[in-house]
Structure 1
């Protein structure tokens, strides 16, 4: 009598940690495609983007949430509520700590918040960026994280950049899931609408290398996505994407546009390449920058901008 096939497992995972601990990079590496924007700026992620890891034996749905923080605006409060809902609904929360940074008060605060918001959710420790340090430092960080999370939590070292130990992390996550069906068709990588991803790619490009005042104040709205009809038969298909970048002050508008429009042009070039990969077609990207005064504190404007 032959052995029966192992049962299929499925479930939801969320990575948490301070800004720049490698959460979004890890999500992208596990999925194998870029579905979450990465930046070293706090509060870069605004939406809970689901990445889907498809395996013959399992399906993992990775939920990339905004970072948990002490809110100072209505937007901050709404993002925290989004996080709270997510933490209590996932099966596993992976706590990310970089191998090259000492565990500090910020890490301890996040773990205490997670325990308070989702006391029954399984915690897993993930030491990220192990390509940056030697084995001795990795071992030291694993011990420190294990001590912080307690004896029940597993800890695993990974490098999303080199791919080292990603398979070990994936196997461990699968082992922590219940038996169950696939939630999405095989081959799907995310359930986010394309327009949300396009807006996120534009935000990421606009945030690259700017001053600290901008990240919270920037919102991107895709106004129109149109298939171009007036092309010659010998020309490849093309899509026109019209987007508006909203900031809160005129000074911020100047930062985004740059001298003689150079910065906005650069943002367009970087974002267009990402959007073309996403859509699998040539794209004409039309960007405009507008001021929506103090939109983070105005409920009506927050709704209009998708929060």
Structure 2
């Protein structure tokens, strides 16, 4: 194999111009690690936070990227066969060690999730981290049940879209917000029962639909909208904080009794690769392949367009997931 690879390097936080494509040595996997030939990777707000200098515990220079999909290229343990399709997520990827924004990456064996699928790489690249967070938020964070109502604050984000699709599969009534009137149709197309235009406050609109308040709510915008999301939730309902589209996640001078409405439960969710069981990933991919699950196609960029892709993510130009194909001409 070649001795070098192309990778996106962030040498210090800053604007998109700080993302540079460089030739780096192909990394060697130490014992307990696996080298992956990266075929696609999704963009995440976490990487935007890293680029802007908002993420904690990041060392530089760094190849960003908290997820990727590809094939096993080398496994010193011999547990994984070369060519096996795998996903890798989280666990320090792109923060404390180099991540998925490259043609090759090495990750701990414990962070790898094997799968088998004939779906295109750009479709596969949109799945792992988003599915992990959506599935974990609904099951661990909210304990959502069939017949319940769910509010998704930030519905046209990649995470909001997948959460809505999964919640409908679980038998929930879904309300989801967007700040743009022209995106309500896109929410309806993925099965959202009640698209809501978010003007900054939505609790009154929600309670016109569900007078007692929703059973569950997923907060993906951040702390600016969290009080209003809490106000849209019924007594003994649950709000799960799992996203920060606003880049704001700290509640200043937090006084729980004054902040959280009486009887409403506030939880959080931040998972790991262990929160996405292989059978859950495989089932989701199988349903995507045969049409039982339908989500908007990802917006795809080449590695050379990483700056434009990051800018589009930062300015919310895209509905759903942005995916990068690091190897030129692949599909």
What is the TM-score normalised by the length of structure 2? 0.30
Higher helix share: 1
What is the TM-score normalised by the length of structure 1? 0.31
Which entry has the higher C-alpha Rg, 1 or 2? 1
Higher strand share: 2
